[in-house]
Structure formats: structure tokens, C-alpha cells
Amino acid sequence: MPPIIASMVMQSTPPVPPPGYGALCRALPVLCGLLASGPALAAEFHFYYAGEAGGALLGARQGAAEARIQGRFLGQDYRLEKHPGEGTLPPQGIGIVAAVPAPALLALARAHPEVAVFNVAADDDALRQSCLPNLLHVLPSRRMKADAVAQWQALHPDAGVQAQAWHPAFVKFAARDLNKRFRKAHNTAMDDAAWAGWAAVRMSADLIARGDSQDAPGLLEQLRTALAFDGQKGEALNFRANGQLRQPLLLVNDGGLVGEAPVRGKDLDSLGARSACPSP
């Protein structure tokens, strides 16, 4: 895979004038640029990406770019780098975004037991029964997708649909805005893997921003117990005990978006198997 360099996530964002420098910045923008990286940077957090280049990587980059926008108001910076392959992560290492098949994913999770490993590519149901406390499945499982299709078909008997985590034509709940930002930055449509990569980084940064988790084990704990993530699907999202992200799914017929699951009257736990893993 091509090397992932940190500068890729350093999308240019205008400097934020520090308090008191607004007028100066208007008069002398260059000077302001020197002065004004906002609050002194107190913390830098690194995500590591494991997998081939593709939608998941673009999504993780988008997530990191957005995390930087949030971080510039809080003195926090974020980077996305290539997973080193072997050994422990440096102290700034906060999470691993993994777009790899099941065996490699399990190996990664076991190699970094105190670091959140986000599964953004594999939908195998068996993975959801592994009960590794640091393995978090951002993508929906096959079972969740099957449940979503069954719910839809119970209401629309002839409809041949498939379920997805995301769709580039989704507009509700500000999905329009996320799709627009992603397309503008990467010149391609956001697919399921891209949404999952984005969500993995954004949900982590949202918790870090709130200040309760400044290292990998702390973040993992917060992800499993205190998450209320706005995945731009209208609901606050969190993880089941088996590490699967509860989430609404989109129903697609012939490439076109036709509906959402859970259908009216059902809740998010109507999609997917109950967790057989111990609660955190």
C-alpha cells in the first residue's frame, strides 16, 4: 500500500485568531498566521491505519481532518499514520483503524490489548462473538443487515433490497453535509467502509475532546461505556457488549436509497444478535 504520511490529514484550515487578536489579524493576516494556532497545543493523538488504500482509508482521513478542526479550539491535534506492523504503539497512539480480513483483525486486537481496534471492513458474524474487549465493530454485521432487510420486506413484500451502513445519496440528519464534505475532499462518494473509517476516528476524537480520556486504555474504556456518538444517522450511537456499534441501517434497491431500518416501532437492538459477551 502507498505510504500514509501525516501531511495528508493536515488539510489547510484558516488560523483561529487567539482572543484579543481579532483586529490585529484583520490588519495583518500573515502575522496572525504566525501567532494564531489557537490555544497552545497541549496534546497530540495518533491513529494508525492497517489495510489497503481505499474507502476506509479515505474515511479515516476525513475523520482525522474533522477531528483537527475540533481540536484547534481545544489545543488538541490528530494524526493518521500507517500502522507500524510490529511492536507496541508510541505513547501518542490512541487507536487502530483496521480494514483487514478477520484473521488479521483478531491478531491485531490481540497484539494491542489496551488499544481500541476499530473493525471497518469485516462483517463476519463470528467476529462479533470473539469477545475481545478492545475489538470494536463500526461496520454492521451480516446478521444486522439481514435483520434490516427482513424488517423492510415484512412491510414491502416484493421489495428486493439490501442493507448498508451508509449511502452517498442519504440526506437526512445532516448526512447531506457529511456526504458533501467527503466528496469535496476526496472526489469520490462515501461508501460503507469510508463511513466506518470516518466514524472510528470521529467518535474517538469526540470523547478525547471531552477530556476524560487522554490515553489509549482510557479512550477504550470511554468508548465501551460512555459513547453517545453522532454518526450523522439521527441517533446517538454506542457499542453493544460484544463490541458491535448499534446503528440504523439504510435500505437500497437497485443502487437507490429506499428506506431506513429499524422500521417504525422497532429499536436499534432489533438489528443484530444479542451480545453473548460479558458487559464492560
DSSP secondary structure string for all residues of 146-169: HHHHHHHHHHSTT---EEES--TT
Closest to other proteins by CB, 17 or 259: 17
Beta strand 93-99 with 43-51 is parallel
Closest to other proteins by CB, 18 or 54: 18
For cell 474504556, the residue is 221
Closest to other proteins by CB, 3 or 19: 19
CB of 210 to other proteins, least distance (A): 6
Torsion (CA) 83, 138, 66, 210 in degrees, nearest 10: -100
At residue 182, the 3 state secondary structure works out as helix
CB of 35 to other proteins, least distance (A): 12
Closest to other proteins by CB, 71 or 272: 71
- Going by C-alpha positions, the residue among 172, 173, 192 that lies closest to residue 182 is 192
In single-letter form, the type of residue at position 123 comes to D
CB of 126 to other proteins, least distance (A): 31
CB of 50 to other proteins, least distance (A): 26
How would you class 48 by CB atoms within 10 Å of its CB: exposed for 0-12, middle for 13-18, buried for 19 or more?
Answer: buried
CB of 231 to other proteins, least distance (A): 9
Residues that bind other proteins (CB under 8 A): 13-23, 25-26, 66, 69-70, 73-74, 173-174, 177-178, 180-181, 206, 209-210, 228-230, 232, 234-236, 267
Closest to other proteins by CB, 110 or 176: 176
